[in-house]
């Protein structure tokens, strides 16, 4: 008789707990979480946004959510490094699946994403989104700001994303400028880490450039982030091209001179004191990847988000 311990993305009866499942087999939800459209009473919801029509260079990030889910299978039921705990022992998480977008009507995309994000945020405390190109962060930010008010933004990226925008463009390089103008993020509370390009305007955000990241210890970077956000409600976005192409070749606009995945994960590990209310990982384009290197990095970043959330829940319930 077949065991229901496999394909837990469909056979799991609860949103908490884990069971062993072969890494190379089974339905590939994120971290083997249960696929469900019922997100009530959850601590976090994972949501894919397969969209890449806003890219200025190489397309392919529409396949990012699939790749990140596939790579996340390496995180089995052992205590997750570096947290040393079962993230799902008492934390209820579901994989909501993907946002359904009309590939022939991109002007409808922002409203569709915002509407579904708003629906999810009305029922859960934390939304973890898997992109998709970086344009998707714009409507997600709008939905978070409607719930929480103006946000601090922590952006790991090689690009500032503050290019000109007429508020109509579908463009992955201008969401920060648009969010500042709309009052959705507070630039005085916001910071960008890993920037290795120049845009005409920084819109008041603090920038830690790529060469500075290389010269700084992770403790210093984390301290700068904590000081800038100042306990304010924070949205955390991680463009995978923040990493050097050696660690993330599978992305649309790679820029040399970036940090290693180990260094940026070390920074993330130290951000448990931030008041993070939502997060995403974007710009994973697996067609340009090698041996799932970029997808593994993206899945690990997303897992760290949930690890920090699990630790926070433990602290609050202690």
SS3 199: coil
Q: Is 159 annotated as belonging to a binding site?
A: yes
Q: Is 241 annotated as belonging to a binding site?
A: yes
Instruction: Tell the burial category of 100 from Cβ atoms under 10 Å away from its Cβ (0-12, 13-18, 19+).
Output: exposed
Q: Is 157 annotated as belonging to a binding site?
A: yes
Q: Phi and psi of 192, rounded to 5°?
A: -120, 135
Contact 167, 184 (CB under 8 A): no
Alpha helices in 233-284 (DSSP H): 261-269
Sign of CA dihedral 97, 103, 107, 108: negative
Q: Is 134 annotated as belonging to a binding site?
A: yes
Contact 281, 240 (CB under 8 A): yes
Going by C-alpha positions, the residue among 305, 298, 289 that lies closest to residue 261 is 298
Contact 65, 132 (CB under 8 A): yes
* DSSP secondary structure string for all residues of 12-75: --SSS------TTSS---GGGPEE-S--TTBSEEEEEE---TT-SS---GGGHHHHHHHHGGG-
* Annotated binding-site residue numbers for Mn(2+): 134, 157, 159, 161, 239, 241
* Annotated binding-site residue numbers: 134, 157, 159, 161, 239, 241
């Amino acid at each position: 008789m077949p065991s229901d311990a496999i394909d837990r993305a469909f056979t799991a009866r609860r949103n908490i707990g884990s069971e062993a499942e072969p890494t190379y087999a089974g339905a590939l939800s994120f971290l083997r979480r249960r696929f469900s459209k019922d997100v009530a009473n959850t601590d976090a919801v994972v949501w894919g946004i397969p969209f890449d029509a806003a890219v200025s260079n190489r397309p392919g990030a529409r396949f990012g959510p699939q790749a990140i889910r596939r790579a996340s299978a390496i995180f089995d039921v052992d205590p997750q490094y570096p947290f040393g705990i079962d993230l799902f022992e008492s934390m209820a998480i579901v994989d909501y699946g993907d946002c359904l977008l009309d590939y022939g009507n991109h002007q409808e995309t922002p409203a569709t994403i915002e509407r579904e994000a708003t629906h999810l945020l009305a029922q859960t405390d934390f939304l973890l989104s898997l992109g998709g190109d970086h344009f998707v962060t714009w409507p997600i930010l709008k939905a978070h700001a409607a719930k929480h008010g103006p946000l601090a933004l922590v952006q790991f990226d090689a690009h500032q994303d503050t290019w000109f925008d007429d508020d109509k463009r579908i463009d992955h390089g201008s969401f920060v400028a648009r969010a500042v103008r709309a009052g959705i993020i507070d630039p005085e509370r916001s910071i960008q880490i890993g920037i290795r390009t120049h845009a005409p305007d920084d819109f008041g955000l603090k920038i830690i450039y790529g060469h500075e990241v290389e010269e700084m210890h992770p403790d210093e970077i984390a301290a700068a982030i904590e000081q800038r956000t100042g306990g304010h409600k924070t949205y955390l976005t991680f463009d995978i091209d923040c990493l050097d192409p050696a660690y993330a070749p599978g992305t649309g606009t790679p820029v040399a001179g970036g940090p290693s995945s180990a260094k940026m994960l070390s920074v993330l590990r130290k951000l448990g004191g931030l008041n993070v209310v939502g997060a995403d990982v974007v710009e994973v384009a697996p067609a340009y990847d090698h041996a799932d290197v970029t997808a593994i990095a993206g899945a690990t970043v997303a897992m760290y988000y949930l690890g920090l959330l699990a630790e926070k829940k433990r602290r609050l319930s202690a």
